[in-house]
Amino acid sequence: MTATQQSTIADAALRRALDRGVDLARLGPARDPNPRVGCVLLAPDGSVVAEGAHGGAGTPHAETAALAAAGQAARGTTAVVTLEPCAHHGRTPPCAAALVEAGVAAVVYAVPDVTTAGGGAQVLAAGGVEVRQQPHPGAEDLVADWARAARLGRPHVTWKIASTLDGRVAAADGTSRWITSPQARRAAHAVREQVGAVLVGTGTALADDPSLTARDDTGALLPEQPLRVVVGTRDLPAGSQLSRGLAGAAPTADRTSPADTPHPGEVVHLRTHDPTEVLADVRARGVHSVLLEGGPTLGGAFWRAGLVDELLVHLAPALLGAGPHAIPDLGIGTMADAARLELVEVTRLGPDLQLRLRPTRPAQEE
């Protein structure tokens, strides 16, 4: 490398700046149409000139926020960014052009932007800015769900099933608590904290009266809560756990404008049975990953639509012999057409097993 702006800054200072960028990015909303991004402007001696973070859709991007904070001091700095600066005109101008115009000498970014907003590195290089990528695991984790949803054109969908060894999700009398162990339920709550939305059908909502919140072993709410989504046309009974979430929301929360991103843990009732419509709606609300926790009807509908990317099966060593099946009729009439799955991971959760599987044929991509 030639004696350029980047080479005057020690790698350790760049790593610290990326660490700080990740911390800044986490200040942004976890559920948002845009990715969470942080930016740190460094002087040639490695000292921090200014910082910026993206506050959500419609607000300045991290790079432009940092440039605004720095003013004229941005000239000659190195911009350290968690995601490749964008090159497209959206609600805000392209960051790559803003960095060139501000006279930034170099840009170090952690994760390439593989979406239609990408291409910022080329714009920067064409503008005389030195550019290079420096991978950072924390930055990659920040945008993994967003990037995956961007590739799919919809949120990533995981179908969670908790069943007995003989594939039952409830007993003959309808009771279903508890099929799996406390360890499995603890793991399920951890998954809820990680996804953007948890979906159930009205059938499950009426039968089980679930809260769908993410909680720890003591029952306390975890820091990150998913959007709770009920799918179907039937009304939720007054006083149920999910209807209380609706009651505390805006009067139009039953079908709010997609531009109105709900608060964490809010309940949204989507009065449709169309999986594609459901995913389009929650994506517009900034959701990049979805967990199907409803019964066989909801999961089967998404599967038949080709919209299941992963299955998470909690298998209890118990037999019922009767009761509802975990998997509905999928329209498969012969063994040659059996839905084959790739076993990705097996984890023991107390007495139960957790199986993570993927369809061997790609889920439908829009």
88-145 pLDDT tens trace = 776 677 899 999 999 999 999 999 988 766 789 999 999 999 999 999 999 999 898 8
Task: Report residue 277: phi and psi, to 5°.
Answer: -65, -40
Element (H, E) at 237: none
Tell me if 139 sits within 8 A of 26, measured CB to CB: no
- Return the SS3 of 199: strand
Asked if pLDDT for residue 36 goes beyond 80, the answer is yes
**pLDDT confidence bin for 200, thresholds 50/70/90:** very high
221/199 Cα distance (integer angstroms): 18
Question: What mean pLDDT do residues 332-359 have?
Answer: 92
pLDDT, averaged across the chain: 86
319/181 Cα distance (integer angstroms): 14
Task: Report residue 151: phi and psi, to 5°.
Answer: -65, -40
Comparing C-alpha atoms, which of 62, 57, 39 is closest to residue 49? 39
**pLDDT confidence bin for 173, thresholds 50/70/90:** confident
The confidence score (pLDDT) of residue 175 equals 79
Cα–chain center distance at 335: 35
Q: Which domains, ranges and CATH numbers included, belong to the chain?
A: 6-146 (3.40.140.10), 153-359 (3.40.430.10)
Two structure tokens written together for 366: 């829009």
Asked if pLDDT for residue 303 goes beyond 90, the answer is yes
**pLDDT confidence bin for 260, thresholds 50/70/90:** very low
Tell me if 85 sits within 8 A of 99, measured CB to CB: yes
Asked if pLDDT for residue 70 goes beyond 80, the answer is yes
The pTM of this model reads: 0.78
The confidence score (pLDDT) of residue 242 equals 87
Two structure tokens written together for 331: 């329209």
The confidence score (pLDDT) of residue 264 equals 45
Q: What is the pLDDT of residues 202-221, one digit of tens each?
A: 988 888 888 888 888 888 88
Distances (CA, A) of 186 to 180, 266, 298, 319, 357: 10, 21, 23, 22, 20
In sequence order, the β-bridge partners of residue 355 are 313, 346
Active site residues: 63
SS (H, E, C) 316-328: ECCCCCCCCECCC
For the chain, percent of residues with pLDDT exceeding 90: 58
**E strand spans, 168-250:** 197-201, 227-231
